[in-house]
A and B are shown apart, each in its own frame.
Chain A
Amino acid sequence: MQNLTTTVADYPDADAAPALQVPEADAGACFHCGTPLRGAVFVSGCKSFCCQGCLTVFELLTENGLGDFYRLGKAAGARARAAPKEEEFGYLDDPALRRRLVDFEDERWTRATFRVPSAHCIACVWLLENLFRLKPGIGYSRVNFPRKEVLIAFEHSRVKLSEVVRLLTALGYAPDFNLSDLEDRPRHPVSRRLWLQLGVAGFAFGNIMLLSISSYLGLDAFSGPGLKKLFGWTSLVLALPVLAYSASDYWRAAWLALRRRILTIEAPIAAGIAALAAWSAGQVLTGRGPGYFDTLAGLLFFLLCGKWFQQKTWERLAFDRDYKSFFPLSILRKNGRKEERIALSQLRAGDRLVIRNGELIPADARLVCGPAMIDYSFVTGESEPVEKAAGDLMYAGGRQIGGAIEVETAKEVSQSYLTSLWNQEIFARQNKPSLETLTNRYSRRFTKLVLAVAAGAALFWSWTDSSRALAAFVSVLIVACPCALALAAPFTLGAAQRILARRKVYLKNPSVLEVLARVDTVVFDKTGTLTGSGAGSVVFWGEPLGEEEQRRIRSLAEHSTHPHAVRIAQAIPGEPFSQPVRSFTETAGCGIEGIVAGREIWLGSAAWLESRKVTVPSPAARDGSRVHVAINGNYRGCYTLANALRPQAEEGIRRLSAHYGLALLSGDHEKERGRFEGLFGNSGPVHFNQSPLHKLQFIGQLQAPGRTVMMVGDGLNDAGALRQSDVGVAVVESIGAFSPASDVIMSAAMVPRLDEVLRFAKSSVRVVRLSFVISALYNVVGISIAARGLLSPVFCAILMPLSSVTVVACACGLTARLGRRLDLEPGRPEGRRP
């Protein structure tokens, strides 16, 4: 067993750590990463840093002539944690794991791609591409900034994979591996195929257009039938690759739709393309005219442009991570007296594991030794750690806070609580029935209508003038090709998705917007959603402490990373590390102690203080968590830490309550019921002590009478409720830090502006509808001409791109305007609203 206490008695002695100094009054921000300086400040020359990690990176860069990094961007660095230990990434050199991570290998070079989510600016790109100057043996590195990936080639005889990863981590770009990465990695991005399709379609479109212009202008009269024939045949040949390659995705989608007997937007598009191709080919082969190959190539070119735009949006927002991402990749297994690092997949039930401070419990496990304080905020979203005694069962996903503990796994990873929660029926259902897209709904009606009109026209003409029947039938199919319809939704919703992403609201896919627009009930989770996990009032109860005493308590609390200690230290004004602390000890799960200016201060739980013969008065009923204080063995009072609402959350809820039904669900104890009942008032129920299953059922009950429910929560434990709801919104403090599978991931700062987000979604869906109307108008004009069998190639070539361009321009323009409005709102006084 490792020692469960950490002694950092020599920590604040300035001469021990050369860079550690008491800062100036206006400490400002870290020169490397820009984090506001708080607590210990590390100084080198005239520059200050927030932590040893940042300082090390700075020194490393300047020593190696990479000082330019700081010229490219002010405080551009990613916050670096203290240098990783020698053996930390040793498991990556394991051949089995290594093979999965490495892209390519020959006798000399190894090439591997890493995801580095913390790369965020030009300076990061520059630094990552100059790695070769920091470590001999690294050949070159190339960054793909939009995908946040870096490709590194290194000589494996000189540098090991684990060393590369260690270097990246030391620089603050800790690579993000997770199990899903290791399981399958797409070798080539999908977009390569799309680029090629687009290129082929563009090539054909341009060339056929050049040939066709002469026929539009009637110039073929000059040169007789020979030229006309040449143009027809050339167009036909040029159009063949378009049909075979560029349109291949449409053929496949239409075939799939046909087999499943559902009508999607692809079906009428494919029908239109097929009709166009067959009719034109017939005209060319029989020598009657040049056909509509110009329209065909143009149509596909525009369709593919829309698809490309859609995919670009998609790629930028690809975040659909699964729960596996939240588990540590390798674990420390105890094998007799030895400790070894193993991959998660090798874990078996009954293994003894060592879980150190801050590490996650990978599978349900029983505590063997060491007092455990398990932070279940990944699972339940509640931030208060739970105390466990030896023999207690602990669930996967909990995070140990304090010293190292030893556990014995009860189940394998795949069987654990989280997985079973994930595998519940609700998660297995991939497609929610409500998610039928607007486009598909419209296109179904549209297809039926078009077929009816085409058949009607054919019937009518076979009655009166049978020579025109086939022409009319085909013409209707051609002109009714719903390309405008197909473009309207991707462009509008894609643009809307991007606008929201800029406000740190990330949608899983554009169709979520359609559901967002229908939402009528909003259910909130409390902790981490309405209340911030960091901020909140800290109040001292008891005999008021002197200023000097407060400063001592602050100095003591600063030595701990425990959330309560951090909050207390932040609440007490004064300079960081003003007083040296001797014999600092953190007893995991109990409290912290130390000698400050000759006085022994204990900060911790009531039970802990009582065990040291301090009489702790029985607590009065007060909100929040308590931390008791004793100085020199005398009880002095306690700090209560309220879970405060996020700024402006109250106004946000009030604004929402005007238009939506609300409810609050919390897994927390009833301590703060009064406050939230006051806030939610008569707009909705407030429920405490809710288990995940309760939450799930509650949402089911709301949905039963046909309401569209949006659940706003965080934590994996809310995942059940998030999935049950029509739109699940996960609130995170820092984007990318934690994202359970949900439809929307939203930055905590946007919670008060939820009503604006919903309004924006509504307006953008309205824009899509408007685009449908415009496209329908074009179709009415086109079809009314086509049904008479009078469709000319020129008319077709003008009408179809025109309709596409107007629809796209209208959709993009209107959405951009909506986005600007969303941008302006925070600056506006709130008085605008009733």
Chain B
Amino acid sequence: MIVIFLLIPLGIVTAAVFLMGFIWAVRSGQYDDTCTPSLRPLMDDKDPNEKANE
């Protein structure tokens, strides 16, 4: 059971890494707008270079 003394800190450190990731995401503005990004895949167009090919 002694291994738990290693596993618990390890688990918390892993979770903390994810928390850091979350903090970075919020700070870089990824949570400022949670609505528009969900619309973008719907309107992926044919080809941005279409005009160039003409």
Contacts and interface: CB of A to CB of B under 8 A. Distances in A.
B8 A122 contact: no
Contact of B35 (A126, A145, A222): A145
A192 B43 contact: no
B26 A192 contact: yes
Contacts of A147: 33
Contacts of A125: 36, 39-40, 43
B1 A222 contact: yes
A68 B46 contact: yes
Given A72-B43, A145-B35, A199 B23 contact: yes
A513 to B, nearest CB: 25
A424 interface: no
Interface of B: 1, 4-5, 8, 11-12, 15-16, 18-19, 22-23, 26-27, 29, 31-33, 35-36, 39-40, 42-43, 45-46, 48, 50-51, 54
B15 A207 contact: yes
Interface of A: 64-65, 68, 72, 122-123, 125-126, 129-130, 133, 142-147, 188-189, 191-192, 195-196, 199-200, 203, 206-207, 210-211, 222-223, 227, 230, 234, 238
Contacts of B27: 192, 196
B20 to A, nearest CB: 10
Given A203-B19, A207-B12, A123 B51 contact: no
Nearest to B49: A65
Contacts of B8: 211, 230, 234
A203 B16 CA distance: 8
Nearest to B45: A68
Central interface residue in B5, B15, B39, B46, by most chain A CB within 10 Å: B39
Q: Which 7 interchain pairs have the tightest Cβ spacing? A: A145-B36, A144-B33, A126-B43, A65-B51, A203-B19, A195-B26, A199-B22
A68 B47 CA distance: 11
Central interface residue in B1, B29, B36, by most chain A CB within 10 Å: B36
11 contacts: A65-B54, A125-B43, A145-B36, A147-B33, A191-B31, A192-B26, A195-B31, A199-B22, A203-B15, A207-B15, A223-B4
A230 B39 CA distance: 47
A206 B15 contact: yes
A684 to B, nearest CB: 44
A558 B21 CA distance: 62
Contacts of A200: 19
Nearest to B52: A65
Contacts of B39: 122, 125, 145
A146 B51 contact: no
B50 A65 contact: yes
Contact of B23 (A64, A191, A196, A210): A196
A317 to B, nearest CB: 15
A65 B45 CA distance: 11
A191 B32 contact: yes
A192 B31 contact: yes
B12 A146 contact: no
B19 A146 contact: no
Given A122-B43, A133-B48, 10 more contacts: A68-B46, A72-B43, A125-B36, A125-B40, A188-B32, A199-B22, A199-B23, A200-B19, A203-B15, A223-B1
Nearest to B47: A65
B29 to A, nearest CB: 8
A199 B26 contact: yes
Given A64-B51, A200-B19, A203-B19, A192 B1 contact: no
B34 to A, nearest CB: 8
Contacts of B12: 207, 234, 238
Contacts of B43: 68, 72, 122-123, 125-126
Contacts of A145: 33, 35-36, 39
Nearest to B9: A234
B12 to A, nearest CB: 6
Nearest to B4: A227
Given A68-B46, A125-B43, A146 B31 contact: no
Contact of A144 (B26, B32, B45): B32
A28 B16 CA distance: 60
A203 B36 CA distance: 27
A207 B11 CA distance: 9
Contacts of A144: 32-33, 36
A223 B19 CA distance: 30
Given A191-B31, A192-B26, A199 B19 contact: yes
A146 B35 contact: yes
A448 B43 CA distance: 57
A546 B51 CA distance: 56
Contacts of B35: 145-146
A234 B33 CA distance: 35
A347 B15 CA distance: 59
A712 B25 CA distance: 45
Nearest to A73: B43
A234 B12 CA distance: 9
Contacts of A211: 8
A665 to B, nearest CB: 41
A145 B18 CA distance: 28
A227 B46 CA distance: 60
Contacts of B1: 222-223, 227
A146 B36 contact: yes
Nearest to B54: A65
Contact of B32 (A123, A189, A203, A222): A189
B32 to A, nearest CB: 6
Nearest to B5: A230
Nearest to B18: A203
A145 B27 CA distance: 20
